[in-house]
Structure formats: C-alpha cells, structure tokens
Structure 1
Amino acid sequence: MLTMDDIIREGHPTLRKVATNVPLPAPQEDKETLKKMLDFLVHSQDPELAEKYNLRPGVGLAAPQINVSKRMIAVNVTDHNDDLIEVGLFNPKIVSHSAETTFLENGEGCLSVDRSVPGIVPRYARIKVEGTNLEGEKVSLRLKGLPAIVFQHEIDHLNGIMFYDRIEESDPYKKPLPPHEVIKRNEFDNPIS
C-alpha cells in the first residue's frame, strides 16, 4: 500500500523529468504500480483510512510523484453529474482541447507540494484524452470542468511541469482572457494530486 512516505516532494529531480513511455502491453510490474496508485486515491478519500494511515486526500496521482519516471496516471474524481471517473492510464495524452479556458477559484494543490501556492492556474475547459487502461484497452475520454483540470495537472507531471509553473508570476490572480469559466470548489476539497 502506498502512503505519503512514497510521495516525493517538490525539489526532487524526478518531478522535473519528462517521463518515459510504458511499453505496451504494459509489463506486470507497471500494472501493479498503477493499481497501487489508484488504491492510494481511494484510500486517501476514505476519512477513516486517511486518518489511520495519515494520507492527504487526492483526486489524481502521476507515477513521477512516487519516483517512477514513467507515463502513468491515476484519477479518482467525480464529474459535474456526480459520476465517478476512476481510471488508471498508461501513456495518456491530450489529443484535442477547447479554446475556452477554466481554472479553480481557490487554486490547485498537489500531494508533492507541502505548502499553499495561491494563484490562478489556467487550464483548457474541455479536453479529449487518449491512453491505455489497466486491461490493455485503448481509452478515449472527453472531459470538462474539474475532471479536465485533474487530467491536465497529472499529464503535466509526466512532462516535468508543476502546477505553479502555470501561475503568472507578476500577477498570480490574473484571469485568463475570456471565454473562461470558474470552477468553484470547497476549500476543504481534495487537492488535485
């Protein structure tokens, strides 16, 4: 079982590397790693387990965050219809996106960042992501709102990008040019990853 001890923190060189593709079909070791990443997210969102194992809740996790520089992400988040999106992907990529942007009103958080980093992180409002799931099937997902933000945050990790790299340094609360939408989340909601 993964715990917070397995999550590397900002400053660790792996977080700034571009992760390598996973050969497909995925080796058993990589499947087991991705399954553990998904389990971590589920455990972290269970209040009893989170308290028992001292887990910070999260809705996404990228393999580089556990010091595995491979293109694997796990996501466990609900969409605007309250439907659960629980998926692990090998070699995910954004194949198309909207011109419209979005951002989380209260900013983004990250399991690899132990501090608050205020500011607006501009993201595409809608994206299409393709990848391969744990069963070896090609998956194509059309995402909007919070799930779109989560997938962009995790795919950034695969490219050595931290969420705060996208905050305008000279004006952290500078909103993207319209059209854009603001996603409101409770300040106690789970950090992204």
Structure 2
Amino acid sequence: MIKMDDVVREGHSALRTKAEEISFPLTEENQKLAADMMEFLENSQDDELAEKYELRAGVGLAAPQLALSKRMIALLIPGEYEDDPPALKQVMINPKVISHSVESACLKDGEGCLSVDREIPGFVVRHSRITVTYFDVNGTSYKKRFKGYPAIVLQHEIDHLNGVMFYDYINEKDPFALKDEVTIIE
C-alpha cells in the first residue's frame, strides 16, 4: 500500500526528470503499480482511511512522485455530489496532450501537490480544453477530450511526467496576475 512516506517531495531529482515510456504488455510490476496508485487515491479520499494512514487527499498521482521513471498517472476526480460516480477514474499509460484550446483557465484557489508540503499561492494558468491520447492497463489506446477541472488535473499530472512542477507556471512578480481572457474555475 502506498503511503505519504512513499511520495517524494520537492527537491527530489525524480520530480525534475522526464519519465520513460512504458511498453506493452505491462509487466506484473507495472500492473501492480497501476493498481496501487489508484488504491492510494481511493484511500486518500476516504476520510476514515486517510486519517488512519495519515494520507493527504489527492485527485491525481504520477509515477515520478514515487521516484519511478515511468509515464503512468492515476486520476480519481470525485463527482459533483457526494453520491455521484467519479467524474474521472483512470490509470493512464504514456498519456500525451495532442491538442489544446487557445482559451486558458485556472483554479480559483490555486493548485496543490502531494509532493509539495507548503502552500504556494498564485494562479496556475493552463489550457481550458485538451485532447489526450493514452493507453489503459490492458494496452487499449484512447483519444479523449477533457475540459475544466479534469483538464487542469490531467495537465498537472502529465507535467510530472515531464519534470515540470505546478509552481513553474506562477508569475513570480505578481502571483495573482491574470490576462482578461482566463477563466477562473471555482
């Protein structure tokens, strides 16, 4: 079971290194990694388990955050209401943004990260809509569009695969500066 001690923190070289592509069929080790990453997100969003294991809630996790140079991410974005099914629940292998909107968006409260133990105020401006190609754990390929919050989360996690941290996007001089055309997501 993945715990917070397994998640590397900022300053670790794995977070600044471009991760390696994964080949198919997946090895048993990579299948287990995919299952473990999703289990971590599920546990982190379960109040009882999160408290028991001292987990910070997360909606995404990338293999480099576990010091593994693998292009694998897990996403578990809750539905709008408590009893809704997840808005997105997927392990993606070798995900790639192949196109994006000209329009930009950011989260009103900024972004956080399981690998960052401090609050970093500021807007992280990203694409409003993206099209992503990826493989699931069975090797099936997908091409899907995402918008709004799921698009933001996906870009955050794919950045981890490329050695990019969310705060790299924050304007150092004026962290809350925005161009007029940027949509702020509540």
TM-aligned CA deviation for residue 80 of structure 1: 6.2
Unaligned runs of 5+ in 1: 185-193
Partners of 2:123 and 2:77 lie apart in 1 by 21
Look up the equivalent residue of 1:135 and give its one-letter code: N
Aligned length: 183
> What residue identity is the alignment partner of 1:181?
T
Q: Structure 2 length as normaliser, TM-score?
A: 0.94
User: 1:78 matched to which residue of 2?
Assistant: 78
Q: Point out 4+ residue stretches in structure 1 off by more than 6 angstroms.
A: none
In structure 1, distance between residues paired with 2:85 and 2:183: 20
Q: Deviations over 1:93-146 (max 9, x none)?
A: 001111000000110000000000000000100111111001221122211111
1:71-90 deviations in Å (ceiling 9; x for gaps): 00000003669652100011
**1:61–1:75 Cα contact (<8 Å) kept:** yes
Q: CA RMSD of the aligned region, Å? A: 1.4
Counterpart secondary structure, 1:171? coil
Residue 31 (structure 1) shift? 1.5
Deviations 1:14-70 (A, max 9, x none): 110000000122222111111100110000000000000000000000000011011
Which residue pairs with 1:183 in the alignment? 185
Structure 1 pair 75–97 and aligned structure 2 pair: CA distance change class (3 A): same
Q: Give unpaired runs (5+ residues) of structure 2.
A: none
Distance 1:79-1:140 versus aligned 2 partners, 3 A rule = farther
How does the TM-score come out when normalised to structure 1?
0.91
